[in-house]
Structure 1
Amino acid sequence: MSTKAPSVVAADPNAQATGQTPAINRFVYIAVGIAALGGLLFGYDTGVISGAILFVKHEFSLSPTMEEFVVSAVLVGAVVGAAAGGALTGRYGRRWMIILAGAVFTLSAIVTAMAPTVGWLVGARIASGVGIGIASFISPMYIAELVPTKVRGALVAVNMLAITTGILVAYLVDYAFSASHGWRYMFGLAALPSLGLIIGMWWLPDSPRWLISRSKISQARTVLQRARTTSDVDQEIREIQQSMAQQGHGGLAGLFQPSLRMPMIVGLGLAIFQQITGINTVIYYAPTIFKFAGISGTGPAILAGAGLAAVMWCFHVLAIFLIDWVGRRPLLLTGLAGQIAGLGVLGAAFQFPQLASVKSEVAIGGLLVYVSCFAFGLGPIFWLLISEIYPLQNRGVAMSAVTVTNWIANLLVAVSFLTLVSVLGQASTFWLYGFVAIGAWLFVYRFVPETKGKSLEQIEAHWRSGKSPRHL
């Protein structure tokens, strides 16, 4: 699937004065598409385990506890990658870190495909997780720092579309190799897009904002001129420099300064709620959930998971068109309300005997509502907001801290899902996620700002003013 953005337009002030809205130049599309390959790999390596685990657990005779560990091994690596990436991206830049992630993806895909024992498999999956942890926040950061303000939401959301594309492709690959039990091919094919990421990023420049932060003004000017529809970018450079001059300390200590207190609350809260509302139980265990619902056979269960991913993909496309028009907050609140409804229906399918004759249909309906609403709400907007709300001086470390929190929450959900099902039952587990989603809705309503149409520097100035998030 292509990760190319839709035909959106940049609002150039000069163009607006004449009634024209020139299209974004080709360089921006190419840069976004290449950087979003990091998202595609993130999605592929996240989704591929859902089908592969059905064969891995038989080949290595895994217990339920060991099965959970194999599934969640990638998340351990993701925590490490996200933590290390924050410190390294400030020093070496966004471009080199994305290239490093591509190299890690390539190596881990090959080793996973050749793993002779479960120990090798777990080790390679942890390495793959390191690549995911790096790419998960540096790819959207790179895009947000490069593209024009008016279309930043849509183009950063392309990265989330790429993640869902990766998940969809993973399910289709799982289905293609399910008849031959070819789980090694399922893992090994990830090496192809990872090589494309390395080659593509090799020829792209670094983020102009990172270049300015390293006093490489001439290089930043060249990049901005390529990424804008005008060659006069001096005002934008001055705004970035003026914003940097007012920023506090960088590094981990800088996260505790008063002006960052609220953005950290917003980022960390969204990071936790995105995961503990249960989305990755659906991604990791979709075939297992469909078997719970009465769909028999490994191949049909995997194909049903692919259908679910295709629905997510369609609603991510919808989000790309809406995010800079409707705004972040309305999509978040509407999406979370839909997730609550979907989880309620999903739990009901397993709880009430009266629904036994239509259990599969009701469960699938609940899942479709749930993933659709996640796909245009909390899914893409979390990654967009954390690429927007932090000052340049602290952006790498702040996004790293938030992403580490996201992956830890992801890990806890992944290792606890089957246990919760065995202790609480299927219905109560999904209803528990639904009650958490209610808390997430209240959190968004109270704390999350609307960043539509604001430059990164305007958002930074708002936090320094000490005003409420909802006044942005």
Structure 2
Amino acid sequence: MALDTEAGVASIFDATKFKIIVIGVLAALAGLMSGLDIGVVAGALEFFARQFDASTVAQEWVVSSMMAGAAIGALAAGWMAHVLGRKRSLIAGASIFVIGSLGCALCWSIPSMIVFRVVMGLAVGISAFTAPLYLSEIASENTRGAMVSTYQLMVTVGIFLAFLSNTYFSYSGNWRWMFGVAAIPAALFLTGVLFLPYSPRWLIIQGRHKEAREVLLSLREDPLEAAKEIRAIREQLEVKQHGFALLKSNPNFRRSLALGIMLQAMQQLAGINIIMYYAPNILSRAGFDATSQMWCTAIIGLVNMLATFIAVGLVDKWGRKPILYIGFTVMALGMAALAMLLATDMSSQTSQFIAVFLLLIFCTGFAMSAGPLMWVLCSEIQPMQGRNLGISVSTLTNWLTNMLVGASFLTLMNTFGTSGTFWLFAILNASFIVLTFLFVPETKGMSLEVIEKRLLDGVKLRKLGR
């Protein structure tokens, strides 16, 4: 009888774990969709530009318009997540993904493409804010880090799959299918989101305590754990958000806000998205033919995805700053070596393979460091009362800087040459090593409460942690 009882309890635990995994995967599909939308333009741009005779500036607008939409979506997402709820916001994002993908596939002019790229960006911005928030509120304390990291991992998976899809359709030059095929996983994502439970935290905010308890009981193996979590949520919600008041009255909060802005600007100015958006163009200037450009781009996407596991595995062992030092050093050296190589004759296969290798080195440096770690740091350095504002501002900075890079890269290459442009990014990455030393704290093993206390006590930014 006892064995039967134990077996029954074990089966309940297994069912609960399976349910959490399914919910986590469904919500993290928002990251996959974001990755697909980020990656698709790299392969489609050349074919689209050829059909509509798009100028360099027009191509930059096609690329960067998505980031403009993402900035707007990120701003709107905070209000949507609070008023409509996390689940309904994800449904809205999934619906917009479908509309944007089909719109880009069916567009009839350069302006129409830009409009639908903005629509796709809205979905990316909403999802980038809402999905990690939802995952963190659904997951237990012991699985929260892994669940939230799944979103960032799925972004890299989406970019890789977009590069593979681009390669397949590049043989026919069918850029419409490159965009349109993303509507299929978007529709599946929309269908799956409909079956997700509401966030228990949002339900408590709405005063729907009974529903919140039912959701948590279905997601936790121990009813006592669920009850403890509900009490913790209620206590935390007593800390009201006063971000704008804190911004005006507290110079220490202004310091953390400025640090968050700097971290996200560093992430984007490192240059990763010139690779994600313009890899075929760069490879073309390195002497690759059209087919080789697409396959090499797919390999770059694969390395970007796999290298993300390095950060996930080492961030809590080595710490944030050592990994950032390594990452920015690798990126600076990779960009400098590529700049020197591109200044030479690129007609030999040896030079071309070295160019791809250097791009892979750069992507590895980014994916293991600045890619995921800037998001981790931005979530750790903001005090509780100003956390919503702080994270919203840093996220907006990310998309605006992303847009700046996407809207200027081709012009930079036409003005300074390919080699000169890569020297610029090499110098930027070298300067980020200095900025990391001067301003970035080491927060490994530090509680958020201790970091906040040290910040508000006026401790120097670089000494907030250990």
TM-score by length of 1: 0.86
Q: 2:103 aligns with which of 80, 97, 111?
A: 111
Assess, with a 3 A threshold, how the Cα gap between structure 1 residues 30 and 327 changes in structure 2: closer, same or farther. Answer: farther
Structure 2: stretches of 5+ with no match in the other structure:
1-13
Displacement of 1:167 in angstroms is: 0.8
CA distance in 1, matches of 2:137, 2:452: 13
Displacement of 1:212 in angstroms is: 3.9
Say if 2:120 is the partner of 1:128. yes
Assess, with a 3 A threshold, how the Cα gap between structure 1 residues 248 and 69 changes in structure 2: closer, same or farther. Answer: closer
Displacement of 1:401 in angstroms is: 2.2
Partner of 1:308: 300
Q: 1:43 aligns with which of 35, 39, 53?
A: 35
Structure 1: stretches of 5+ with no match in the other structure:
1-21
Say if 2:60 is the partner of 1:68. yes
State the AA in 1 paired with 2:368: F
State the AA in 2 paired with 1:398: G
CA distance in 2, matches of 1:207, 1:390: 23
Assess, with a 3 A threshold, how the Cα gap between structure 1 residues 452 and 440 changes in structure 2: closer, same or farther. Answer: same
Displacement of 1:318 in angstroms is: 2.9
CA distance in 2, matches of 1:395, 1:242: 16
Conserved? CA contact 2:98–2:183, under 8 Å: yes
CA distance in 1, matches of 2:123, 2:424: 31
Conserved? CA contact 2:316–2:445, under 8 Å: yes
Displacement of 1:93 in angstroms is: 2.4
Conserved? CA contact 1:154–1:321, under 8 Å: no
Partner of 2:342: 350
SS at match of 1:263: helix
CA distance in 2, matches of 1:98, 1:212: 19
State the AA in 2 paired with 1:300: S
Conserved? CA contact 2:106–2:176, under 8 Å: yes
Partner of 1:16: none
Displacement of 1:193 in angstroms is: 1.7
Say if 2:283 is the partner of 1:286. no
Displacement of 1:123 in angstroms is: 1.2
Q: Residues 432-443 of structure 1 correspond to what in structure 2 (within 5 A)?
A: 432-443=424-435
Conserved? CA contact 1:153–1:384, under 8 Å: no
Aligned length: 449
CA distance in 1, matches of 2:46, 2:347: 28
Partner of 2:390: 398
State the AA in 1 paired with 2:362: Y
Partner of 2:406: 414
Assess, with a 3 A threshold, how the Cα gap between structure 1 residues 257 and 149 changes in structure 2: closer, same or farther. Answer: farther
Q: 2:21 aligns with which of 29, 40, 55?
A: 29
User: Does 446-455 or 421-430 show the bigger shift?
Assistant: 446-455
User: Does 326-335 or 171-180 show the bigger shift?
Assistant: 326-335
Displacement of 1:453 in angstroms is: 5.4
Say if 2:186 is the partner of 1:194. yes
Say if 2:165 is the partner of 1:173. yes
CA distance in 1, matches of 2:394, 2:334: 27
Q: Residues 35-434 of structure 1 correspond to what in structure 2 (within 5 A)?
A: 35-233=27-225, 234-249=227-242, 252-253=244-245, 255-256=247-248, 258=250, 260-296=253-289, 298-352=290-344, 358-390=350-382, 394-434=386-426
Conserved? CA contact 2:335–2:362, under 8 Å: yes
State the AA in 2 paired with 1:376: M
TM-score by length of 2: 0.87
Displacement of 1:200 in angstroms is: 2.2
User: Does 40-49 or 131-140 show the bigger shift?
Assistant: 131-140
CA distance in 1, matches of 2:188, 2:377: 27
CA distance in 1, matches of 2:318, 2:253: 26
State the AA in 2 paired with 1:269: M
Assess, with a 3 A threshold, how the Cα gap between structure 1 residues 253 and 169 changes in structure 2: closer, same or farther. Answer: farther
Question: Alignment identity in percent?
Answer: 34
SS at match of 1:181: coil
CA distance in 1, matches of 2:412, 2:174: 30
Conserved? CA contact 1:243–1:461, under 8 Å: no
Conserved? CA contact 1:255–1:398, under 8 Å: no
Assess, with a 3 A threshold, how the Cα gap between structure 1 residues 59 and 289 changes in structure 2: closer, same or farther. Answer: same
Displacement of 1:36 in angstroms is: 1.4
CA distance in 2, matches of 1:197, 1:397: 29
Conserved? CA contact 1:340–1:438, under 8 Å: yes
User: Does 127-136 or 142-151 show the bigger shift?
Assistant: 142-151
Assess, with a 3 A threshold, how the Cα gap between structure 1 residues 58 and 248 changes in structure 2: closer, same or farther. Answer: closer
Assess, with a 3 A threshold, how the Cα gap between structure 1 residues 357 and 165 changes in structure 2: closer, same or farther. Answer: closer
SS at match of 1:75: helix
SS at match of 2:94: helix
Conserved? CA contact 1:24–1:229, under 8 Å: yes
